[in-house]
Amino acid sequence: MMQTKTYAPEEWRAHGVRWRRSPGLIAYDAALRAMEDHVRAIRAGEGDELVWLLEHPPLYTAGTSARPEEEVVGRLPFPLHVTGRGGKITYHGPGQRVAYVMIDLRRRGIDVRSFVRGLEGWVIAALASFGIHAVRRTGRVGIWVPRDGGRDDKIAAIGIRVRQGVSFHGIAVNVNPDLSHYAPIVPCGIREHGVTSLAALGVDADLKALDRALERTFDHVLGGLDAHGRRSAEV
């Protein structure tokens, strides 16, 4: 019988935070359990703050403000997971870089609003590395690429949860996913705009290239603060 080869995740440290990149497709329920375990470890002083880079198999997730009866417009070809993160319905799948960000916000002195804005700035700065002009939009969660005629296309989703001062969930950036998988839903409850990816914008980059850009620009998330809430000497 042929044995399936498994590969260990890569791990390294940058910006005072541990980074983990998992190969293959990580089941959503397993990732959620691992995040919850790690958040508990951080709160207990037994775990490092962590940025976990991964891909999921094709699936949909519904956040705490989702209304599936309004946001599902076709038969879902993949499982739908109800989750505790903020936001509405979105898609995850191969070719999309998910980054789960587990940071002790209390210890660093970062409030939730500033943290979300930091995540937005992080994605915008990383995409700028590839020549992509991405923006925030008031009243619309996520990161958007302006197109002709006043239309915006969403290139990244943001959804977090904070438990006892520690963040989890995070961001999802479209590198080269199958964008047709968004068709059965109204992504994040917004009908007037579309979705895009680095590949759809003509950028030839893989997940590891995006990972390098995310690592370089991670100070946007931390606001220049070290693990003890002190201003970093590098900022």
- In tens digits, the chain (235 residues) has pLDDT values of 444 445 789 999 999 999 999 999 999 999 999 999 999 999 999 999 999 999 999 999 988 887 877 788 888 999 999 888 877 889 999 999 999 999 999 999 999 999 999 999 999 999 999 999 999 998 888 999 998 877 899 999 999 999 999 999 999 999 999 999 999 987 766 667 889 999 999 999 999 999 999 999 999 998 754 555 554 433 3
**Which residue segment(s) compose the domain that 83 sits in?**
10-219
CATH number for 61: 3.30.930.10
Residue 232 falls inside a structural domain: no
174 with 155: CB under 8 angstroms? yes
pLDDT at 151: 86
Residue 22 lies in a domain: yes
- For the chain, how many structural domains are there in total? 1
Phi, psi of 162 (to 5 degrees): -125, 125
Catalytic positions: 188
Q: Examine residue 1 and state whether it is found in any structural domain, yes or no.
A: no
Residue 212 domain flag: yes
Q: What is the pTM of this model?
A: 0.90
What letter does residue 78 receive in the DSSP assignment? Answer: S
123, two tokens: 């994605």
Cα 48–chain centre separation:
19
Backbone φ and ψ for 208, nearest 5 degrees, come out as: -65, -35
- Tell me whether residue 2 is in a domain: no
Do the domain assignments include residue 231?
no
4 is a domain residue: no
50 within domain boundaries:
yes
Alpha carbons within 13 angstroms on the beta-carbon side of residue 22 total 19
